Structure 1
């Protein structure tokens, strides 16, 4: 396996392949890579943590003798040849720059048509076209061969798309976690037991048992406190029945996702409330009421038709009616009052015109934070990850206020289109978080690319509001765990979550390099549960066994069966139908009979742990023992 990258995802992926899948890995990194500090000294001192920072090029947990490191400024052709791409089984291109990954993928496909490619791209549309192009190039290079026989598939993934659902679900008050692949919708729900001594409803199946302290703000999630060994993934029925009083993660529903609904764009239709101020609206309402009263008074005093009386009143207001010199006194008084109302109407109309013009001129500008806003999510950082999380939160109609120091950041344009308030400034500076109304917020999402900014912003927000719910993005998963536990100890009444994007996304990239694309990933506290599609043929752990016999607690569980004929199956179960083509018929059966015997021709959907999936997919994995 060859991994090329310039950030933490490359090192995490190399560690995943070597440690979990037992593969030989060549890691290509930039020349003379400078160490990236995890956190600033001030934040370290405030937390009471050690100031020793993990640095170096070697991934954590990877034996240096089993990992070959190649240093190169760019993944050029000679570099890829030197890294062994012509004879490699798979290549992962995970540079942060899409153009670099694109150029290297084209060169790699020419060097090795049988190479399995996994490419990191932020541009979704470009990724779809690139997958088709490179797969077609593999078929052309091997005339008469089938792409599935070559196993030279191309998979385009985005760490932002992989991690965004987990980050958004951690921030939203509630228990539902939705994992949406291109074609499938997986819904996992955290369910708390109805009372002590009772077991929560399992739904379709129980995916995980939560740690006993996960609902306790003063507890340590996933610790061994009070005999709690952390979450238990894919437990058997006996363990679920015995775990009374503990929450579970249940598979609630799985369905085929339809076309992605367009995001609401408030700038497309400007409501009256955004055009005119409250004071102006009340002024216009008062004038309309006075005009109606004058029209009714004219109708009652003159005996005219109501429409004629209203018409005469409007003429008097606009000063285009003849003076009521010969009219009765009542008519003269009403005309004078209508003239005064006309004088009052003129400045109100001018103010309305100015406010309306100003509203249209600022429609493309950033929206200010409403003064009365409360119960919202404060999102720090509008980079790749922050942009995807912002889109997710707005799809769920969650009120958001963004904080970004760079006015040209990637997500500022999206926030402008969605009419989401944005505060421009450094979140660590005094007054910036106050401008975002953090003291009235429910959740703080710190998703900038700087660990120092995320941690210092969290500590400052905690000083403003000690019970604020916090979700932090931190670079190193071990450091994220230490920060999480320290904050939970320092603020026992607040809920804290720390997440590492590389930790959430690396399993998807690693599984794709093994030839199977992950359909979804659900974070369970500090662990990850994966969903993947797998052909039964060639797997003695599954073939010839019943659904109940194939279930291995803590490793994998068959949750669905693809009933479509092998010749009609899509190579990628999670892929949506191309534009202009009808969606494939639903061929997945989710409520399987425990006695069904899995055949070699079957394709199943598995829920698996990282090591369980590695045992099934790994080329060096030993055959699983019988049940």
Structure 2
């Protein structure tokens, strides 16, 4: 007989609480550790699943993180370090799973090792930015899921910046599905409508179709959307204009003080040479130039028979000639160095068209510039720091990095924002992002702006008030996948649609569940849940066109696409009702 490791841990934790005369609670317990908005969004996801959540946060949280204590069923524990003592205080013994979502790869690994000392065999869900490091971490722990919020959110920003759908593919039950517009898919390949514009997300069956509807369709062969993407890649190849770029480099290479010194020396040389030529006439223009230059480089003899004006001019010419050569050498050397630095750092405003300006080279910004570059799109990056997280990636990809404040129009103009196709602002500060977006619109009114904002309500109000285009929330897009991994739910894909994150997942009907004995049509909910297919109990084959009248039995698996609230409700209806808590009757 196989023993469920979580149930065994739960029994031991319950026995400990009874032995110590502590209140008992049989609900599953999850511990999440983090310090940025992602921990709030994950806790919000879990709060509606009738579970206990302990959020371990630093004593001083970031200002943009809402109050976790306001969420139902969430206990907040503040701690300086994530060590064995902290995990014991959080009740990790007997916990169902642990999520480590701090924006620090090494710190999360260290915390995971400490957690294993408290509760061995614990399911771990870890946030990692470095993919190679994440693959290695999986080998250290028996039950570990490694996720990257930046990798999950970046495609949504890329798609919004291009103003088109980028292919979203996933494979399930023998079919490869993709997100396209209805006009780009054959009717027989359409699985369901995801977004019908003003008619809503996940509309009910029978809703009139429109060519602009976003649909989930089977990717059979080469689709029109792939042709559009191919044309876009060719159209936005980097347009090189060497002469104009050289002129920009020369302007960046000029040093004002050195230029003034060279100019004064040249004027003295010209005036002195003219006077000398008039005082001691020579035959022809060439001989005048010859005598002047020869004297300027110091190859002149003392001429006592000349008048005082000619002697003074010769003296000035000789002295200026001695200064001219070092100044010219210094100007050439400094100009070459400045030009190379300017080209490397992106301070040179070379003429660009149809490029994408990305503000913020953190985890998300680095992923965005890499994906845009893979699509053949020219990118210019802006960051306050001289060496941001993605500086090395930008250098490898040949992406110019402009160091400056994106909230200033001067910085935006240096990135040729007036001729770019889109501005993607993905720094971690909502205020800075909004300032950059508004200033970019002041430079160019019709600019497409993709804005990263955490607060969903604030983002919608900003979008309506300022008409800033598209806003995205990284934590909102990534949190469902982290919550699904914690709940041990099979998440197939996450599809961003407008500001919604549609989740494709499987839900299993359990013994005693409210859905057991109900027809399949009862599992769907217009606007929230759409059933894609059914795998009956005891079968390994999924039916993509199940009978809506099929009576659900325990063990039946439903493949669904749903919004977060809809999936939460469906999971509760498909799960075994929880036992009474603290002796109270079951709901």
Find the structure with the greater CA-based Rg. 2
CA–CA distance in structure 2, aligned partners of residues 603 and 539 of structure 1: 15
Q: Secondary structure at the match of 1:417?
A: helix
**1:505–1:621 distance in 2 versus 1, CA, 3 Å:** same
Spell out, residue by residue over 1:42-89, the C-alpha distance to the aligned partner (whole angstroms, 9 max, x if none).
xxxxxxxxxxxxx76436x614xx321111011111111111110211
**1:463–1:134 distance in 2 versus 1, CA, 3 Å:** same
Higher helix share: 2
8 Å CA contact 1:178–1:185 kept in 2: the answer is no
Alignment correspondent of 1:98: 105
1:437 is displaced (CA, Å) by 0.8
Alignment correspondent of 1:530: 503
**1:547–1:125 distance in 2 versus 1, CA, 3 Å:** farther
* 1:188 lines up with 2:171 in the alignment: no
1:438 is displaced (CA, Å) by 0.6
Of residues 67, 71, 82 in structure 2, which corresponds to 1:75? 82
CA–CA distance in structure 1, aligned partners of residues 172 and 146 of structure 2: 12
Which structure has more relative contact order (CA 8 Å, sep 6+)? It is: 1
8 Å CA contact 2:533–2:546 kept in 1: the answer is no
RMSD, matched Cα: 4.2
**1:13–1:167 distance in 2 versus 1, CA, 3 Å:** same
* 1:6 lines up with 2:13 in the alignment: no
Alignment correspondent of 1:237: 205
Of residues 45, 50, 58 in structure 1, which corresponds to 2:68? 58
Q: Secondary structure at the match of 1:439?
A: coil
1:615 is displaced (CA, Å) by 3.2
Of residues 364, 385, 396 in structure 1, which corresponds to 2:375? 396
1:247 is displaced (CA, Å) by 4.0
CA–CA distance in structure 2, aligned partners of residues 486 and 209 of structure 1: 23
Of residues 140, 143, 148 in structure 2, which corresponds to 1:133? 140
1:535 is displaced (CA, Å) by 4.7
8 Å CA contact 2:195–2:215 kept in 1: the answer is no
CA–CA distance in structure 2, aligned partners of residues 275 and 462 of structure 1: 27
Runs (5+) with no aligned partner, structure 2: 1-29, 222-238, 247-332, 578-587
* 1:205 lines up with 2:205 in the alignment: no
8 Å CA contact 1:514–1:617 kept in 2: the answer is no
Spell out, residue by residue over 1:465-487, the C-alpha distance to the aligned partner (whole angstroms, 9 max, x if none).
11111111113222222222211
Q: Secondary structure at the match of 2:126?
A: strand
Aligned length: 441
8 Å CA contact 1:444–1:469 kept in 2: the answer is yes
1:415 is displaced (CA, Å) by 1.6
Q: How does 1:164-563 map to 2 (within 5 A)?
A: 164-178=154-168, 187-191=178-182, 203-212=189-198, 231-233=200-202, 235-238=203-206, 240-241=207-208, 247-253=212-218, 365-366=344-345, 371-488=350-467, 496-535=469-508, 550-559=523-532
**1:588–1:411 distance in 2 versus 1, CA, 3 Å:** farther
8 Å CA contact 2:511–2:576 kept in 1: the answer is no
1:588 is displaced (CA, Å) by 8.0
1:461 is displaced (CA, Å) by 0.7
Q: Secondary structure at the match of 2:350?
A: coil
CA–CA distance in structure 1, aligned partners of residues 571 and 119 of structure 2: 22
Of residues 52, 57, 66 in structure 2, which corresponds to 1:29? 57
**1:201–1:182 distance in 2 versus 1, CA, 3 Å:** closer
Runs (5+) with no aligned partner, structure 1: 39-54, 136-152, 195-199, 213-227, 257-272, 281-353, 489-494, 567-586
8 Å CA contact 1:176–1:187 kept in 2: the answer is no
Alignment correspondent of 1:88: 95
8 Å CA contact 1:615–1:621 kept in 2: the answer is no
CA–CA distance in structure 2, aligned partners of residues 527 and 21 of structure 1: 20
1:7 is displaced (CA, Å) by 1.1
Alignment correspondent of 1:160: 150
1:594 is displaced (CA, Å) by 4.4
Spell out, residue by residue over 1:289-329, the C-alpha distance to the aligned partner (whole angstroms, 9 max, x if none).
xxxxxxxxxxxxxxxxxxxxxxxxxxxxxxxxxxxxxxxxx
CA–CA distance in structure 1, aligned partners of residues 343 and 509 of structure 2: 54
CA–CA distance in structure 2, aligned partners of residues 368 and 588 of structure 1: 58
Alignment correspondent of 2:309: none
**1:503–1:276 distance in 2 versus 1, CA, 3 Å:** closer
**1:463–1:29 distance in 2 versus 1, CA, 3 Å:** same
Q: Secondary structure at the match of 1:505?
A: helix
Alignment correspondent of 2:128: 121
1:202 is displaced (CA, Å) by 8.4
Q: Secondary structure at the match of 1:615?
A: helix
1:430 is displaced (CA, Å) by 3.7
CA–CA distance in structure 2, aligned partners of residues 155 and 11 of structure 1: 19
1:389 is displaced (CA, Å) by 1.2
1:462 is displaced (CA, Å) by 0.7
Moved more, 418-427 or 533-542: 533-542
